[in-house]
Structure 1
Amino acid sequence: MYSSKLTWLVTGANSGLGLCIVQQALRQGHTVIATARSLAKFPESLRDAQNAHLFELEATSSAFIITKFVDDLVSRFGHIDVLVNNAGYGLFGAVESLTEQDIRRQFEVNFFGVLNLTKAILPHMRQRCSGTILQMSSCSGIFNIEGSPVYTASKHALEGLSEGLAQEVKKFGIRVHLIEPGYFRTGFVSSALETRKEGSWMTEDGYIDMKAYITDADGSQPGDPVKAAERIFELASLTGMAKGLQDEVRLVLGSDCLDMLEKKIKQYEKTVQTMREIAPSTDY
């Protein structure tokens, strides 16, 4: 449990859950370095907030640029206690309808952007033997949802990276956690969700009409982003409902996400039973 105020670095902090996290940390008197693709995207309330420091950062910037950005921040602020890798977007549509460029860009933002920022901050945290990295995953990092296989793949990649990283850096006093939200009313659909206007849905060929699904679901999501930000803050500070969760890799948010996790476990349990004879049949 932390008794002192922390310095946070939050990406994608101009809206949605990222903004809620920034506001929660500021309410608790912490220092927050918030980034967005453009300073103009930040709400006026955040520009005038005490202890809020706003910067432009493009998630797809080169590793060199991101490393210099982090080094400069550490020189200015002394240290960064909490990194929240929140920047990202969702690419929906059938695999066969998406171009290679579409798919590569999804991974550049959702995976490689996160990887570069994480790598840039690790030496500083390792030097201090302290730090917390919160990786914004999704219920799609647990359970595949029809109509978003590429987005799901990017989150599965992030999950695998973060699980391995958590094991690597635990001995240095660094915590790595995956944040797995279900569906929250964050504006993700309207502002961060990337959909192609033509050729993405292919409903005439039997694919799910994701455009209609997304439109119908927006605004009726069960999750409250303010409450999610409270849980995330508690995990970073090991307070409230997150006391004692320092070794828990995942923070599951939303009853819908918990349901998906249970479904995934049942799928694996079925696979274990089905493969009970086949798997050992290949041993020497």
Structure 2
Amino acid sequence: MSQSAQGSVAAVPGQAQGARKARRKYNLMSIVGTIPMILTAVGVFVVCIIFSFIWSFTNSKLFPNFNFVGFDQYVRLWKSDRWNISVVNLFTFGVCSIIASMVFGYLLAVFMDQRIKQEDMFRSIFLYPFAMSLVVTGLVWQWMFDPNLGIQSAVQKMGWVDFQFAPLTNQATAIYGVVLGGVWNGVGVTMAILLAGLRGVDSEIWKAAKIDGIPTWRTYLFIVLPMMRGAILTAFILQCTGVVRVFDIVIAMTQGGPGIATQMPAIYVIQHITDRANVGQGMAAASTMLMPVILVIGLLALFRWNAQRKKDRAI
């Protein structure tokens, strides 16, 4: 063997060792870089959730204390008509907004998947509402629903004087007006997530569907959609977290009114902690809303992890 060949063979282990050192250094730097986020998550979110749960069993007023009263705060909570209406409103808002966002988000994703011209421009237009502040979104929709300034006034000036469209002024329809504002704000990001899922589908699936003569709409609905479980689950969890913490858009559009027709649990929590100086009751409400959400998200994550593990085993 020539000296040059021997030198190249000897260099291979050295290069491999250097690559391993570089990977270890990269992994170490990645871990160091995530430490601030880990500390923030543990020190702020986890600790605050624990103390919120503890204070919900106390008679804390203006300032938190540790005078435990058992489940008294929870009993008072579920006897409150304002709280019960808030829960019903949240359920109505959540079901309507999630279904509408997922359906229209998928339809927009299918539209964008047609490789249309100016795709980047349309994607920016659809995503722009999500980048806006919820307060600004709420104020815009409040103006649009104003019977003297918005849609109703504009249509009546066109000649349809009997046209009525002011959902925020009616207790029976106010929550659906808030739903429209919420869907407009969140449908764009759902579209982006589902579009990424569509673009990840193997092109061979489309070729096979065309060969079999399956219409395009049936391919999207019955073949491609079931293959996008990961993207759908991600969009669904994002929508759920947005529903639970809905506050800004309601305050901007209706301030919980008319009456308490659009009262939400987040508003109930904030009002009891600040305006009514009843920290114990506010924490009981916060804990009641947080625990089911954490449980649902945990179960969804566990389901996703088990599905991925079964898929890896099958491979």
TM-score normalised over the length of structure 2: 0.27
Higher normalized helix content (fraction of residues): 2
Mark the structure with the bigger radius of gyration. Answer: 2
Higher normalized strand content (fraction of residues): 1
Q: Pick 1 or 2: higher relative contact order, CA cutoff 8 A, min separation 6.
A: 2
TM-score normalised over the length of structure 1: 0.29
